[in-house]
Structure 1
Amino acid sequence: MNRREFSKHATLMGAAGLVLGASPLAQAQGMAPVEGTNYVRLSQRAPVSAPAGKIEVVEFFWYGCPHCHHFDPALSAWAAKLPADVAFRRVPVAFRENPFVIHQKLYFTLEGMGLLGSLHMKVFNAIHEQQMKLDTVDAITDYLVKQGVDKDKFLAMFNSFGMQNKVKQARALAEAYRIDGVPTLGIQGQYFTSVSLNGTPDKTLATVNFLVDKVRKGK
């Protein structure tokens, strides 16, 4: 989903389904991913926060994006089997103030509270399968309390000064990667790829693996 689609469908956060682009011929024939077709090389490198010796993969996403919801199960399964030299993390994007920033803070608060494992996919499902409008602080808080989350602890972290810094850092990284649609994956500050460039989640992750290997070999 790109910026134009976000604007057009701002009130349709519960929309379901994934609109896929045509499958690139190179991958359809089992060939290696092609630069400019299946992935893009950044003209200027983006910052990397992974420890030395690790190859960083970043998924840029939004909880309200149906494409991201569709992609997440395949991405999570891929992330669970990463080799030791790959560091994966998610970064929520904000193409405008609301509800994007609220969702950014929601993700980072769940991360800070150690609740992503139990609640990340539940939030996606609440929005896209249960048609819940989690687009205000009150709606989000009410939902999380029903999931057993401590309201006071959640709000304290959600509204903290440190949270504002996380939001700023997320915005800066998305700008460095030139993100204009999600889900998009950045690799070691050098490349990005997406489902729209590859056609399916599996082909997208195959391209990510290809790019990780390029970085690993210093190409």
Structure 2
Amino acid sequence: MASLRCFVQAGRSATSAVLRREFHKTSSASLQVTVRDALNQAMDEELERDERVFLLGEEVAQYDGAYKVSRGLWKKYGDKRIIDTPITEMGFAGIAVGAAMAGLRPICEFMTFNFSMQAIDQVINSAAKTYYMSAGLQPVPIVFRGPNGASAGVAAQHSQCFAAWYGHCPGLKVLSPWNSEDAKGLLKSAIRDDNPAHSPLLSSGVFGERAHVWCSV
């Protein structure tokens, strides 16, 4: 049985290697980028591809975001699509939900997902459930994104992980990328999805980590 198990594992490894080689042959190129830059690339590409996409949140415009994930986007796309908000999570989350219901594709950024507790009614009731309550007639294509989980020295208001909480809410898709490639691909897929709400949750400690990202769209 042990030898059979080893054979199966070896077969899987060989198959994975073949698939990776074939994928790399058809891909244009790869770059080693940080998670931060991968998220930035994903938003930049989707903002350029679809004029309905826009970003709003605290300090996402001129300041380039608390973690510099939105670096350069305000200069490229201007005030109408990169929107700084007051410190009122319930307010700008509600604006994002309404915009999604009206046919736009907002990316609603929380400076930390701890602050999403201030907007939890908008997230788990208005955003997550409307698509299903309307029998699919009213999509809510919205992305809630931001850092999540433990970080050094930032106190109780910044250091909890809410992935499990949101994962138990009907209608929400909770995405937890592992590396740069995951971060870029999952964020782009989330922005394009017509289903309700997505929550790409990242530990605030991984933004500087690097991995290869394939450039083909």
Which protein is richer in strand relative to its size? 2
Give the TM-score normalised by structure 2. Answer: 0.26
Structure with bigger gyration radius: 2
Give the TM-score normalised by structure 1. Answer: 0.26
